[in-house]
Amino acid sequence: MTQQPLRDERRPANEGRRAAARNRAALVAAAREVYAESGLDAPLSAVARRAGVGQGVLYRHFPDRATVATAVLEENVRQIEQAAATDGAGLADVLGVLTWHQAESAAFVGMLHAKGAAGGSAVPPYAVALSVRVERALRVLLPARHPLAAEEGDLMIAVAMVSGAVTGAGRERRTHRALAAWRLLGVDVGPVRPFDDGTG
């Protein structure tokens, strides 16, 4: 009588966990698409809709906007850090990876405004923290005589300037405008591509 149908009990639990993992992955993928198109101001309801789940499911995985945005932007920032940590990488190579992500994602572009925007306006702390990581990755590779090395804030002002130029729809158009902006700044940029750590 105390014999419980253990397997049957375990199976639904496992299925529940698998379904939860599937939902989370679908939500992150949906958020990546929605934020890339519309920026970080896109409503969370659009993310849930794109993922094909209810808003309750979204809130169970991501209690607030910051946790969704961090899950999505973390990957952009990690690629830039990895590119910067690669043996023999120069600033131009890392700027190529940065530019790829600027062309890809309106959310990433919005994040790069964040640090500059700090001070008074409502900049989410996660965006500032991620932007600081980008700055750190670039700064270690900045040569002393680089056009962006003259004054303390120039490096990230230039990144914000390129972000300002990267508007409109379509990767080709956005890449073209980003490269025109770097050219106007007199800054060399390597191939525009995502970082490939060789494990893919």
Instruction: Give the C-alpha separation, 71 to 77, whole Å.
Output: 11
Closest approach, Cβ 92 to its own copies, in A, equals: 17
Instruction: Give the C-alpha separation, 30 to 46, whole Å.
Output: 9
Of the candidate residues 5, 56, 88, 170, the single one contacting its own copies (CB under 8 A): 170
User: How many residues would you count in the chain?
Assistant: 200
Instruction: Give the C-alpha separation, 135 to 156, whole Å.
Output: 7
Instruction: Give the C-alpha separation, 197 to 193, whole Å.
Output: 12
Instruction: Give the list of residues 6+ apart from residue 89 with CB closer than 8 angstroms, or none.
Output: 83, 141
Per CB under 8 A, does 160 bind its own copies? yes
Give the Cβ contact number of residue 78 at 10 Å.
Answer: 15
**96-135 footprint of its own copies as x/- string (CB under 8 A):** -----------------x--xxxxxx--------------
Only segment of 7-15, 48-56, 136-144, 165-173 that touches its own copies (CB under 8 A): 165-173
Per CB under 8 A, does 88 bind its own copies? no
Per CB under 8 A, does 153 bind its own copies? yes
Per CB under 8 A, does 18 bind its own copies? no
Residues near its own copies, by CB under 8 A: 41, 113, 116-121, 147-148, 151, 153-154, 157-158, 160-165, 167-170, 173, 177, 180-181, 184-186
